[in-house]
Amino acid sequence: MRSVSVKTVFAGGAVIALALGVSAAALAQAGRNASSGVYTKAQADHGQEVFQEKCTRCHGASMEGLDVAPPLTGPRFMGNYVGQPVAALASRIRTSMPLDMPGSLGLKDSADLAAAILAANGYPAGDVEMPSSASALQTITIDAPK
């Protein structure tokens, strides 16, 4: 029986991932929890800029929620999203926000907004930008922040 090195297996997996259109960043983050640092500070900063422009009138400047718009931080938010993939949050943002122009935010802005929301909830930044594809975000779970 021929032995196969870990390096060979990883290289083969990377080739398959690239052939399927999955980025190296998505491959590196597969099966991770949000508390392990799944976005970059620059990504969360960009998401915060988009939030200030598109979201504050309903969700408040500090993501505290206003009127009928729910808070994006704290126990209520955590109760809705802990155990869910980041894809659930990013998809909700992309398909239904902002309320007066649902579907107007692209994949990148939705992922960056999700990063800003994770940052506001105490999740740490990491070294790799969170991917924007739904399939890649499906592999990252929102766990309880540490």
Write the DSSP assignment of 72-126 as a string of letters: SSHHHHHHHHTTSBHHHHHHHHHHH-STTSTT-S-HHHHHHHHHHHHHHTTPPP-
Per-residue pLDDT of 95-137, as tens digits, reads 999 999 999 999 999 999 999 999 999 999 999 999 999 999 9
Q: pTM for the full model?
A: 0.80
For domain 6-141, the CATH class is mainly alpha
Domain map of the chain by residue range? 6-141
Q: What is the mean pLDDT of residues 71-87?
A: 97
Mean pLDDT of the chain: 86
Q: Which residue has the higher pLDDT, 88 or 4?
A: 88
